[in-house]
């Protein structure tokens, strides 16, 4: 049963451990060092990031090795881990320098890579044995025999295809001793994940080498034939899918044995990552603490709604999405809240918070402060001063230092968001 890759791992002294975590891991996206810090602070057990090469988000604010080192050190203070996506399907030329790159990841303290191409899997296990190799969702793994195959290749974890059902997950878990990572929240591909080349055709950007430009969400005109197109007005439609949201089904996922709950979205904002992580953290912890007494709290669902503005569904977990799960009409709905500022300091004696501006706000505006664990309160912005104590009518400059009185204590990395709707 042992493959060459297992032998490589054994030679490197890599432990072949049992694959069931004590509690499910909440795994969050981090498109930048700052997002990594927010994700971890708001409750992620692990984050996945992109390096300068070999990932599928070539437009994200990808990490340098120095940023990775800083991110790993920050995460370690919370007991969290950092994974790096190296999940391209590599052309021959892409493999030049990969061994050196993987060794560098190992040396800066990255816990695991997420890989799809067997060449990258094999090179990582041979050249950087301190890195775990997690099989990327790009491999479209949807049956237990495939999971067994990758276990026999020596991999400790498989990231399942988004198209896998809850029933299939249960069967995998009952048959194969391996960690399963599952997407629980975020964007879905309207084609089978990892099998779409729309972007390649429309823009010459390779979706399997990090270039997807989300062509499925563009606005198209639909005409039956050339005759109906002639003189027809705009009839826009998109090919996008509703986003995945499993906040209402945490008990099912945990009971099925899912080891890692993955949130999609390395391109998403700090506000989105913090809010979504915050909601899932609370739901997972509540269920783990008291499965019998668990109830879904409306504020968790509400928190998701404050961060996202696209329609949501449960993807492929309970049935194959039908026509109702497709987004036909382009949606221009604005987000209900916008990230206004981050708390950098708080003077408890004076009740004054120091904020760093992220989008304009002014006195009289309704805002909400949020922090890890579901802490939140609403208030109106009162008098504002700048760092020199000068009164301000509007906080209009990015990263400007602002001081305001808050109605309750706040803490560094708390978020102030303003109501938009
Ligand atoms: S174009 Fe859409 S369906 Fe295709 S890979 Fe990109 S996000 Fe997925």
Per-residue pLDDT of 169-207, as tens digits, reads 999 999 999 999 999 999 888 877 778 888 888 888 877
Residues contacting residue 397 through CB under 8 Å, at least 6 positions apart: 357
Domains along the chain with CATH numbers:
4-193+242-325 (3.20.20.70), 337-419 (2.40.30.10)
For ligand 1, the distance from its centroid to the CA atom of residue 213, given in whole angstroms, is 7
Q: What confidence score (pLDDT) does residue 227 get?
A: 67
For ligand 1, the distance from its centroid to the CA atom of residue 274, given in whole angstroms, is 25
Q: What confidence score (pLDDT) does residue 319 get?
A: 92
Q: What confidence score (pLDDT) does residue 16 get?
A: 37
133 lines ligand 1 (CB under 6 A): no
Burial string for 281-303 (b: 16+ CB within 10 Å, else e) reads bbbbebbeeeeeeeeeeeebeeb
Name beta bridge partners: 326. Answer: 241
Among protein residues, the one with the nearest Cα to ligand 1's atom 5 is: 196
Among protein residues, the one with the nearest Cα to ligand 1's atom 6 is: 214
Give the residue among 79, 126, 82 at the shortest CA–CA distance from 102.
Answer: 126
Residue 88 is given by DSSP the state P
Q: What confidence score (pLDDT) does residue 102 get?
A: 97
Name beta bridge partners: 25. Answer: 260
Candidate of 162, 214, 241 to mutate for ligand 1, largest count of ligand atoms within 8 Å of Cβ: 214
Q: What confidence score (pLDDT) does residue 249 get?
A: 98
Q: Show the low-confidence residues of the chain (pLDDT under 50).
A: 1-20
212 lines ligand 1 (CB under 6 A): yes
CA angle 194, 199, 204 (to 5 degrees): 125
182 lines ligand 1 (CB under 6 A): no
Q: What confidence score (pLDDT) does residue 17 get?
A: 39
For ligand 1, the distance from its centroid to the CA atom of residue 214, given in whole angstroms, is 5
Alpha carbon dihedral 61, 272, 284, 240, in 10-degree steps, equals -90
Q: What confidence score (pLDDT) does residue 193 get?
A: 75
Q: What are 9-50's pLDDT values in tens digits?
A: 344 444 333 344 578 999 999 999 999 999 999 999 999 999
Are 191 and 199 within 8 A, CB to CB? no
For ligand 1, the distance from its centroid to the CA atom of residue 88, given in whole angstroms, is 15
Rounded alpha-carbon distances, angstroms, from residue 39 to 33, 177, 267, 276, 351: 10, 29, 13, 9, 27
Element (H, E) at 121: helix 118-127
Helices (H), 212-295: 226-229, 250-256, 270-289
Q: What confidence score (pLDDT) does residue 266 get?
A: 86
Residues contacting residue 169 through CB under 8 Å, at least 6 positions apart: 160, 180, 182, 256, 257, 258
Among protein residues, the one with the nearest Cα to ligand 1's atom 4 is: 196
307 lines ligand 1 (CB under 6 A): no
């Amino acid at each position: 049963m042992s493959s060459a890759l297992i032998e490589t791992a054994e030679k490197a002294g890599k432990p072949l451990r049992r694959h069931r975590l004590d509690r499910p891991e909440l795994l969050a996206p981090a498109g930048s060092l700052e997002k990594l810090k927010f994700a971890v602070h708001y409750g992620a057990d692990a984050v996945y990031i992109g390096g300068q090469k070999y990932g599928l988000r070539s437009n994200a604010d990808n990490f340098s090795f120095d940023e990775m080192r800083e991110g790993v050190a920050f995460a370690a203070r919370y007991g969290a881990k950092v994974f790096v996506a190296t999940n391209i399907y590599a052309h021959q030329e892409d493999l030049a320098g990969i061994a050196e790159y993987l060794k560098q990841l190992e040396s800066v303290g990255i816990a695991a890579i997420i890989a799809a191409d067997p060449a990258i899997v094999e090179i990582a296990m041979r050249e950087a044995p301190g890195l775990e190799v997690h099989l990327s969702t790009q491999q479209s793994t949807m049956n237990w025999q495939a999971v067994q195959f990758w276990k026999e290749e020596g991999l400790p974890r498989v990231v399942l295809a988004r198209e896998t059902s809850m029933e299939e997950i249960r069967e995998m878990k009952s048959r194969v001793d391996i960690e399963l990572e599952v997407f629980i929240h975020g964007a879905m591909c309207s084609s089978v994940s990892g099998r779409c080349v729309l972007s390649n055709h429309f823009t010459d950007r390779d979706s399997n080498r990090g270039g997807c430009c989300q062509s499925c969400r563009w606005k198209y005109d639909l005409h039956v034939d050339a005759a109906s197109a002639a003189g027809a007005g705009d009839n826009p439609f998109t090919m996008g899918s509703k986003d995945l949201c499993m906040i209402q089904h945490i008990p099912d996922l945990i009971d099925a044995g899912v080891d890692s709950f993955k949130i999609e979205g390395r391109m998403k904002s700090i506000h989105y990552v913090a809010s979504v992580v915050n909601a899932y953290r609370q739901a997972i912890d509540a269920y783990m603490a008291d499965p019998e007494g668990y109830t879904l709290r409306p504020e968790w669902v509400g928190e998701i709604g404050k961060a996202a503005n696209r329609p949501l569904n449960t993807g492929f977990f309970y049935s194959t999405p039908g026509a109702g799960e497709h987004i036909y009409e382009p949606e221009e709905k604005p987000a209900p809240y916008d990230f206004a500022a981050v708390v950098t300091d708080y003077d408890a004696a004076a009740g004054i918070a120091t904020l760093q501006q992220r989008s304009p706000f002014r006195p009289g505006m309704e805002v909400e402060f949020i922090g890890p664990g579901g802490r939140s309160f609403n208030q109106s912005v009162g008098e504002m001063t700048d760092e020199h104590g000068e009164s301000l009518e509007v906080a209009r400059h990015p990263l400007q230092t602002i001081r305001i009185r808050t109605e309750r204590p706040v803490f560094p990395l708390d978020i102030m968001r303003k109501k938009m709707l």
